[in-house]
């Protein structure tokens, strides 16, 4: 049975789309990039900077928050938005993906995944039902079904087994979600690795179950960009036109431009903050590594035309010094500069789609990156 639709498609330009997703904590303009605040914090940034940078929505993780400080505690403290002070739309990932990448001694069964906590070694079980319960306790505006993602390359058998399990977990997630409707949303996740047929089957069956929106998972997990884009081209047309489409864990600015061109509406990725902590800046001229000695005497800012003050006003020489000295401020400044650049890019895409000039926008943006850091 289909769930109510909170997404409004405002304009399309070729396959690219712009729209508006209305959540209980506010409106999200799409295409949207969600910065990742894994454990209830954006690493190196205040929430007010995240908001000022233009983010409408952020991502939190079931896995981390259920282990520490605990979902029941966050619920008692008023939910994640109140607890953290972000107070805006939040999407939470369902946990399975993080179990696979972060915990030890994990075991996947039909019923649940069991694993040892990366914090204190405690044995924990996470089922699709418990994942929905945790996401409800957290107060996620958008909850994700629990799924199993396989790294690529993988065998056809492994891809099909994980895809079928994810579909059964999708049904259980939906049932658990519907047992106590609360005005929030639930997204299904399409798996299927790099096999078009699996993607089609998964998308079709997921749409039959019916979700508020649909994610494409199992990508950016070891495959070349061309394979990722091909899988988006296979999957997106199989999803309902009037529902939001979310590409999980992606990506670089280049990935975002290409994926929006193929009809994706939402993204999340740790890249802007993680790379910022490692001395990298994302700019109109591509990525700039501030560690590099050539910046030591450079009085120029990263981008004198940027709307973001730290990108416009702070010298490359100072950023280089902060990064080389291991100063916390270097990581903080580059995180905000990068999140602001990602949001600027999304805004540019939204405006270009509305104006019907997305192709020109793509060409100009690519030309800026190709010109490089001058």
Kindly list the catalytic residues.
93, 268
- Minimum Å gap between C-beta 359 and ligand GUN is 28
Structure tokens at 259: 């994926």
Segment lying near ligand GUN (by CB under 6 A), choices 67-75, 78-86, 143-151, 335-343: 143-151
Cβ 235 to ligand GUN, closest distance in Å? 12
What is the rounded distance in angstroms from the CA atom of residue 345 to the CA atom of residue 285?
12
Of 90-98, 131-139, 324-332, 355-363, which segment contacts ligand GUN by CB under 6 A? 90-98
Over the window 113 to 132, marking each residue x when it contacts ligand GUN by CB under 6 A and - when it does not, the resulting string is: --------------------
What is the 3 state secondary structure string of the chain?
A: CCCCCCEEEEEEECCEEEEEEEECCEEEEECEEEEECCCCCCCCCCHHHHHHCCCCCEEEEHHHHHHCCCHHHHHHCCCHHHHHCCCCCEEEECCHHHHHHHCEEEEECCCCEEEECCCCCCEEEECHHHHHHHHHHHCCCEEECCCCCCCCCCCHHHHHHHHHHHHHHHHHHHHHHHCCCCCCEEEEEECCCCCHHHHHHHHHHHHHHCCCEEEECCCCCCCCHHHHHHHHHHHHHHCCCCCCEEECCECCHHHHHHHHHCCCCEEEECHHHHHHHCCEEEECCEEEECCCHHHCCCCCECCCCCCCHHHHHCEHHHHHHHHHCCCHHHHHHHHHHHHHHHHHHHHHHHHHHHHCCHHHHHHHHHHHHHHCCC
Q: How far is the CB of 255 from ligand GUN (least distance, A)?
A: 13
Contact pattern from residue 273 through residue 302 relative to ligand GUN, giving x for each residue in contact according to CB under 6 A and a dash for the rest: ------------------------------
Stretch that binds ligand GUN, among 2-10, 116-124, 144-152, 237-245 (CB under 6 A): 144-152
Site size toward ligand GUN, by CB under 6 A: 12
- Give 147 or 194: the residue with its C-beta nearer to ligand GUN: 147
CB nearer to ligand GUN: pick between 160 and 373: 160
Contact 147, 187 (CB under 8 A): no
Binds ligand GUN (CB under 6 A): choice among 38, 61, 94, 173: 94
Q: Which is nearer to ligand GUN, 258 or 303 (CB)?
A: 258
Q: Check: CB of residue 303 under 8 Å from CB of residue 314.
A: no
**218 interacts with ligand GUN by CB under 6 A:** yes
Q: Please, what is the minimum distance in Å from the beta carbon of residue 218 to ligand GUN? A: 4
Q: Which is nearer to ligand GUN, 133 or 303 (CB)?
A: 133
CB nearer to ligand GUN: give 152 or 290.
Answer: 152
Is 248 an interacting residue with respect to ligand GUN (CB under 6 A)? yes
Task: Name the token pair of 144.
Answer: 């994700």
Q: Is position 35 an interface residue for ligand GUN (rule: CB under 6 A)? A: no
Name which of residues 163 to 192 contact ligand GUN (CB under 6 A): 189
User: Considering the rule CB under 6 A, would residue 93 count as an interface residue with ligand GUN?
Assistant: yes
Q: By CB under 6 A, is residue 147 in contact with ligand GUN?
A: yes
Q: Does 149 bind ligand GUN (CB under 6 A)?
A: yes
**Tokens at residue 100, please?**
């696979």
Q: What span, in angstroms and rounded, lies between the C-alpha atoms of 366 and 374? A: 15
The single residue among 144, 163, 203, 290 that binds ligand GUN, judged by CB under 6 A, is 144
Q: Which stretch binds ligand GUN (CB under 6 A): 40-48, 91-99, 123-131, 195-203?
A: 91-99
Q: Is 97 in the site for ligand GUN (CB under 6 A)?
A: yes
Q: Is 249 in the site for ligand GUN (CB under 6 A)?
A: yes
- The residues that touch ligand GUN, with contacts defined as CB under 6 A, are 93-94, 96-97, 144, 147, 149, 189, 217-218, 248-249
């Amino acid at each position: 049975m289909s769930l109510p639709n909170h997404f409004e498609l405002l304009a399309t330009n070729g396959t690219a789309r712009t729209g508006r997703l209305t959540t209980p904590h506010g409106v999200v303009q799409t295409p949207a990039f969600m910065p990742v605040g894994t454990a209830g914090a954006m690493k190196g940034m205040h929430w007010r900077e995240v908001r000022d940078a233009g983010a409408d929505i952020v991502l939190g993780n079931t896995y981390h928050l259920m282990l520490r400080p605990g979902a029941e505690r966050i619920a008692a403290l008023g939910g994640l938005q109140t607890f953290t002070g972000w107070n805006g739309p939040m999407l939470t990932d369902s946990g399975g993906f993080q179990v696979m990448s972060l915990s030890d001694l994990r075991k996947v069964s039909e019923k649940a995944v069991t694993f040892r906590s990366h914090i204190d070694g405690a044995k924990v079980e996470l089922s699709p039902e418990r994942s929905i319960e945790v996401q409800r306790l957290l107060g996620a505006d958008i909850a994700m079904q629990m799924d199993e993602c396989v790294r690529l390359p993988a065998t056809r058998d492994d891809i099909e087994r994980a895809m079928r399990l994810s579909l059964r977990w999708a049904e259980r997630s939906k049932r658990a979600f519907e047992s106590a409707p609360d005005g929030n949303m639930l997204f299904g996740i399409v798996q299927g690795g790099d096999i078009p047929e699996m993607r089609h089957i998964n998308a079709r069956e997921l749409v039959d179950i019916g979700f508020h929106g649909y994610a494409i998972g199992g990508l950016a997990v070891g495959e070349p960009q061309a394979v990722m884009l091909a899988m988006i081209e296979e999957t997106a047309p199989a999803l309902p036109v009037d529902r939001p489409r979310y590409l999980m864990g992606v990506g670089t600015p280049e990935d975002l431009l290409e994926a929006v061109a193929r009809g994706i509406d939402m993204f999340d990725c740790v890249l802007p903050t993680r790379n910022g902590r490692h001395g990298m800046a994302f700019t109109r001229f591509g990525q700039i590594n501030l560690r590099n000695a050539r910046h030591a005497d450079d009085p120029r800012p990263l981008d004198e035309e940027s709307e973001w003050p730290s990108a416009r006003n702070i010298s490359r020489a100072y950023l280089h010094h902060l990064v080389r000295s291991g100063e916390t401020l270097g990581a903080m400044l580059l995180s905000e500069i990068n999140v602001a650049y990602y949001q600027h890019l999304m805004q540019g895409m939204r405006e270009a789609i509305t104006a019907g000039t997305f192709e020109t926008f793509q060409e100009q943006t690519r030309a800026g990156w190709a010109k490089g850091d001058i």
